[in-house]
A and B are shown apart, each in its own frame.
Chain A
């Protein structure tokens, strides 16, 4: 079953603009992760935020987590055409050893 749901499903922006994607989930989590998938390829881990953290940065990526609202956002600043990909949030809960992925946001960055 899908734990996380990304919003929007698709996003198209111009190069240089910022892109914001949101993720909502249903149950308590240990951590929330964001992954990127280029078309037809495997997923690549981008960033992890723990349940006791509110914000995390990595290069042009900024992730926030609001556990009271069970939501997270991924901000990509100064987007580039190479950022075009699908972005997925994934949650780790309790003692479970597996991640539950959302349905993803398709980001298109136009040159």
Chain B
């Protein structure tokens, strides 16, 4: 069966520090991968999605970047965090072809101080 792992679960970082959130998927090949951000009490904002290794689409210009170094690995990064980067980050995957049903990770809570 397919599983998705996302870490770390909780992160407290000072302004200006770097960020790396990692997501891996098991049990499937060539998944579509996604990073969403959720502000407190709000809906989900799509940040990045990837349909293959090295293929990254950015939905919102910002302080963040994403990389997909391996088929089932998706990394969200920042060189210098801003206060506004605080939020709940969710990784998700879907099959490459189909109805785009997403399976989410458990999320990473980032607080920038």
Contacts and interface: CB of A to CB of B under 8 A. Distances in A.
Interface in A40-97: 40-45, 48, 50, 88, 90, 92, 97
B12 interface: no
A102 B106 CA distance: 19
Contact of A101 (B6, B43, B49): B43
Interface of B is mostly: strand
Interface stretch (B13-21, B62-70, B79-87, B97-105): B97-105
A57 to B, nearest CB: 17
B42 A33 contact: no
Nearest to B106: A42
Interface in A16-37: 30-31, 33, 35
Contacts of B103: 45
B93 to A, nearest CB: 11
A41 B88 CA distance: 9
B51 A98 contact: no
A100 B46 CA distance: 8
Contacts of A33: 99-101
Given A88-B43, A102-B43, A48 B107 contact: no
14 contacts: A2-B43, A33-B100, A40-B88, A42-B6, A42-B107, A43-B44, A44-B104, A88-B43, A92-B99, A92-B100, A97-B32, A101-B43, A102-B43, A104-B43
